[in-house]
Structure 1
Amino acid sequence: MRTTRLRITMRDVEPAVVRVIDVPADVTLGELHGLLQAGLGWTDSHLHQFTADDVRYGVPDPDWGDLQVQDEAAVRLRDLPARFEYLYDFGDSWEHDVEVIGRGAETPGCVGGTGGCPPEDCGGAPGYEHLREVLADPRHEEPDQLRKWVGELPSFDREATDVLVRQTVGEAPESVRLLLDLLAGGVKLTPGGRLPRSVVRAVQERRPEWYSLDRPASIEEDLYPLAVLHDIVRKVGLARLANGVLRPTRAAADDREVVRRLRTWFEPEGFTSILGGFAAAVLAASGPLPPDELTRRVVPLVGDGWAVEGRPMAAADYRRVLGQVSAELRALDLLAGDWRTWEAGPSARTLLPRATALADLWTREPAW
């Protein structure tokens, strides 16, 4: 993978906060936002924008009218000049100078840096300066209250940051690569449009847990996550049917594009996407859990305001929807385990950027 090396410097903050990270050369600004959050140590809890040559890029909001920014998802890092600004949290106004300093290593990651990231919501650079002064003075009247709120100020851990940046870049799930490899060269579907038995049994051999019966599977619905995965790869454009033969598309040969397209399967603010992402993050942070206990932990995180059939959702509704979305999570290696105990799948920290960030945060600071 070709990478580009960036130096990011937080403005007006002492001790200096600097990161040097390698990011995919073809990264979009929307993807870069997630990588900057991971590299710097922010929690992606606030709005953000990029500015280059007086042009602003971010997530468009139709209510902004003439102030609307350019869509960051449609712009790549290579489209910007060698120096630009990244603003995070319009209230605290954390400003960062981003500089392209050349070609990076063979893989993305964090190669250097200094300074721990300030706590979220501490009042920007002036508030952070005051916070440090208070914590450094044991005679100050505020220390106990502030220490209880902020805890210990974080330090910079390059190795941990390197892992988080690479996880945020993402990896193609093994389950997806397994199916795409089996489709290489083209596979003729059955008259009903389903995968042939040879493919079904090849997947069963690699994923026996996808079929609860102790016998060879016959149709793809026997391995229900496979049926779901078949649907996913076609809808996101990783496989295409022509004259009854299903083949991988050109995009399927590029792991970066595989990850990018799979992420479009999850509607950003859709309820099932939010619920599934929280479930994957909780399991990655806490370890295996019974489905009912997982539901109990996820419900407060999802928040109020969700309704079904005109009434507020109850715990049983959340459990039912989580059961429904579990097949998609299994198909994409976000979820594993049997019906008694669910556990994080191998892609729980490497497919969905928000789940990656939350799993990292909750591993250090549990939310339950």
Structure 2
Amino acid sequence: MAHSSTRGATSTRTVTSSPLSDKHALRQHHRCVPGTGDRVVRLLTPEAQRPRALLTTASVGAMLRATCVGAGARCTCPVQPTDAHHEEAVRGCHVTMPAPARGRGLRDNAAMGEPTASGPTARTQPPHGRSGPTTTYVLRAELDGAAPAVWRQLAVSPGLHLDELHVVLQAAFGWDDYHLHRFSSDPDDPWGQPAYLCPFEIAEGDTGVPAELVRAGEVLTDAGERLRYIYDYGDDWRVTLTLEAIETHEESAPPAACRDGHGAEPPEDCGGVPAYEVIVGAQDPSHPDHAELLAEFRRWFSAEDDPARIRLTPFDADTVNARLADLDLGSPPRPREVPVAVADLLAGVGGHPVRRRLLRLLAEAAIDAPVTINPDAAADMMRPYQWLLERVGEDGIKLTKAGYLPPAHVEAAMHDLDLWEEWIGAGNREDLTIPVLDLRESAQQLGLLRKYRGRLLRTKRGGAAASDSVALYQLLAERMPPARRGTAEHRAGTVLLLALAAGVDDTDDADALVTEALIAEGWRHTDGTPLDMWTIRAVQRPTMGVLQRIGALERDRASPGDLTPTSRARPFAHATLATTPHSTDTGETS
């Protein structure tokens, strides 16, 4: 019987050690941690879920995320060795998160694009099949081992990717996509090769191809061919997909439809086919083995237990088709290269429905298109940062003992950059003058400035771009979002930039997308409560602050508390996400 998740369980800060040591045992344990949706799990006890699902009001870097390696290896824990929590975090940690690619670069092997030429995720090329729009596949999807038979007849486009076929099967059998899954072209062994894997298994380094890169028409080419599918490695639902016929596609036909079927929907987490058969027989007085199966059911539970409490939904083609109609099928063109930040985001949300919306935004963002920079617009947009870089100069600025800009520089910034409309007060203490404080701190986060021995100094790249607004524009675009990779702020900034690059012109829509993406990845408050509007805005603040400062966002005159995109937002957001021509790049930049 499966022990994996139900959605919506909250996270905990508990970090404890585990007796599990070998890799296979660790991976199997990860798959059975409650409350994770069977996605990437790194803490090794059922009580300690979703290491990244913690938000703090201070530094996210101080969170107790189990990202250390075992004894004798280099510690990758974000908690610094001087932190009181570090020793505890190390003791409870035996695995490491997938190593982030260095630099901005592109990554295409972990979540989005073409796998690398070798290694555990190397692509085994499927046969070149019928992936065009002129045909329809008639598939029989039958649950292995069930008696009487449980099957669905589906008409699908061969152009569907296997990750889309996965959600079609979930709808067809009434499952909720709580667990891991995979496909295999081995007709005899669903665990055989070639295997087409869900995002978690790709991140784990399992041998196979990302399911999202392979179309049904590539792995099924002729009538009679079979594809194997497994869902929930605990309950072990095994489905054999047989290509019954290839028909001419009708233009009005949906990308997936259910034509026929038999057998009630197998309940989630019921125990697999053996338990399903017991439940079906125990509920049906006309079943020839009803008495025996009812007794078996009560041996499992209690002598007075009523099997009818487990709801069995009879097969109904109209119900299945209504579910299929709600699916967002038919993917947009998928770029072979994506920025590392977007690849991280897509890997993080896993198979959640928000993933497909993010992919559509990625297509609409046209990140393969060349970046064009208007020099006049760049000069106007970069003025605040150029002013600050020039003010710091080659010699730097001596900071106050508390680490702030001296009053003279704060007053100059308020005057020269016309910041009085944004703030009230004397405008001479940086800690009390938020527009200046945000400008200086964002310049540090973007790598333009640094603190050293009580002085504020230019970085090498910041100094080189100080007098060149186009170069500074490019540098800012490269360094966005202004937050440490892997933090909630970085994730939120990435979603916001993707939305703006795709032309989303309402920040409320962007807020909703950020909310759904962060929830899909498992972020919660440290007390386990769901994210609220204030938190969503707070984690977007570093990115929104830069965008507002360069004129890509402006105050809504009708609602001064809101920001709206300007005509500068989309070109700049596109520049932050635009790819380079290095198609084999896996994250390292030259």
| More helix per residue | 1
Which one has a larger percent strand, Structure 1 or Structure 2? 1
> TM-score with structure 2 length normalisation?
0.33
Q: Calculate the TM-score normalised by the size of structure 1.
A: 0.49
